[in-house]
Amino acid sequence: MNGNILEIRGLVKSFGGNEVLKGVDFSVNKGDVTCIIGASGSGKSTLLRCINMLETPTGGEILFHGDDILKRNATVPEYRAGVGMVFQNFNLFHNMTALKNCMVGTRRVLKKDKETSRLLAMNYLEKVGMSPYINARPRQLSGGQQQRVAIARALAMEPEVLLFDEPTSALDPQMVGEVLAVIRKLADEGLTMIIVTHEMAFARDVSNHVVYMQDGIIWEEGTPEQIFQNPKRQETKEFLARFMAG
């Protein structure tokens, strides 16, 4: 396993006759920050949703510490406690305060007592700069604040790997920076992350592993220096020329 936390082998996902993932292979080691880039429709978000088991792959393997989660009898909530996810549209519970949003998973899934859950929630809300807003409901928060609560909620589960699906795409431009700053801090602290993003400069600066996807396959992967400064595939060069210029 060479220290891999996650290993994806030959992952395929079809919706009816539409094959969205066509045999994806890559691995994630402890402390990796993997950024997945590519145009809309390339399969990036579907890949994350398969890794988190929000979608069931059509074929292939997802190995978590060497065990294929598609074959073993672990419950999905148990697996997601180890591999968390932050969504582009926050997905907060609108009838709950920020604090309760961050407690619900640890109470229901991890079966922690109320006080332990509260302390975990407070710790991570403080980490993302949202401790002054613990009693606010989502409708009282800006998009950037809601996303920071969503990150705190995921962190409260203390996952080994955290997945981010376009975490800034639903935000106004002035709010993007505050969310990216939180993710940069988590990267600096060594959290293992897989980030689907259209923020090219961010991907270049924060990751140690970049994956370029097109048409449901990985066309090229490597270090940020290899991908952004010396891409080998013409498709990668054209994508970066278009998106870095934009």
Give the relative orientation of helices 98-108 and 143-156 as an angle to the nearest 10 degrees: 20
Give CA separation, 232 vs 25, 35, 214, 221, 225, in Å. Answer: 18, 18, 14, 10, 12
Identify the pLDDT of residue 201. Answer: 92
Taken as a whole, the chain contains a residue count of 246
Q: Give all strands of the β-sheet with 161-165 in edge-to-edge order.
A: 83-86, 161-165, 192-196, 33-37, 209-214, 217-222
Residue the block writes with tokens 């073993």 = 72
Nearest 5°: CA angle at 178, between 85 and 180? 50
For residues 165 and 45, the answer to whether their CB atoms sit within 8 Å is yes
User: Per residue of the chain (246 residues), what is the pLDDT tens digit?
Assistant: 357 899 999 999 999 999 999 999 999 999 999 999 999 999 999 999 999 999 999 999 999 998 899 886 667 878 888 999 999 999 999 999 999 999 999 999 999 999 999 999 999 999 999 999 999 999 999 999 999 999 999 999 999 999 999 999 989 888 999 999 999 999 999 999 999 999 999 999 999 999 999 999 999 999 999 999 999 999 999 999 987 765
Cα–Cα dist 157/150, whole Å: 12
> What DSSP element (H or E) covers 27?
strand 18-29
